[in-house]
Amino acid sequence: MRPLGKAASDDDRPLIERVRRGDQDAARTLYERYFDRIYNYVYARLGRVEDAEDLAIDTMTRSLTRLDLFHEQGVAFSSWVYRIAHNATIDHYRRHGKVRLVPLEYATLPPSPDPSELAVEQLSNEDLRAALRDLTDEQQQVLILRFFQDLTAAQAADIMGKSVGAVQALQHRALDSLERALQGRTNP
């Protein structure tokens, strides 16, 4: 996936103004720019194609029809879209009885016999995705944004409403938790 640089956010501004005036071409450009990213983000969180499609469409619809609210947020359009996607994901969990809003300090981590034994290169993508979904909500979010979406720590911080330092610390803990989760899967 092409990295979402700062330039993309700057490019969004004139498009957003055009969408506000009812310009469908501008709406199509923003849709093409963000749909795949949002689908990828939501799929990584939910793991179900049908749900991911519905939530990605819902996120893009809200993003492009509630631009009056976007102006009040004071963040980049990309951050706003990711926040909508995140909230949609949380709503989805609530509706389907799978709420995972466990603070990090209370997160249950599987035991690890010897972390160095984990053969990372041999793990399948699906193993990684499945183990990721065992993490807390924030841990999933930071790893998906930083490594699946290829965003910088600053961009992830803007989306999550945290400082860059907090995001870096969260990322470190999330990787540690993921490693343990993978060991729990490969050494039951």
Partner 1 sequence: MSEVERLERLAERLRAVDSVMASPGAKIRGWNLVLAAVEQSATVRSRTHSVRRLVLAAVAAAVLLVAGAVAASADSLPDSALYPLKGVLENVRGALAFSPSDQFAYHLDLAQTRLTEAQAMIARHRLDLASRALTGLDEQLDDAALVVRAEKQSDPVLGASLENRLSQAIAVHDQQLAGLQGQVTNPAAVRAITEARDRAAHALQVADNPASSTGHAKSSDSPSGDGKGQGTSSPRPAANR
Q: Which residues bind partner 1 (CB under 8 A)?
A: 1, 19-22, 24, 27-28, 31, 35-36, 39-40, 43-44, 49, 52-53, 56-57, 60-61, 64-65, 115-116, 118, 120-121, 123, 125, 128-129, 143, 146-148, 150, 172, 175-176, 178-179
Residue 147 to residue 144: CA distance in whole angstroms: 6
Reading the block at residue 15, the tokens are 């498009």
9 vs 29 by CB, closer to partner 1: 29
22 vs 97 by CB, closer to partner 1: 22
Q: Shortest distance, CB of residue 72 to partner 1, whole angstroms?
A: 16
Reading the block at residue 33, the tokens are 């720019």
At residue 176, what are phi and psi to the nearest 5 degrees? -60, -45
CA nearest neighbour of 181 among 139, 138, 122: 139
> Among positive and negative, which fits the CA dihedral 83, 86, 88, 91?
negative
13 vs 99 by CB, closer to partner 1: 13
Q: Shortest distance, CB of residue 130 to partner 1, whole angstroms?
A: 12
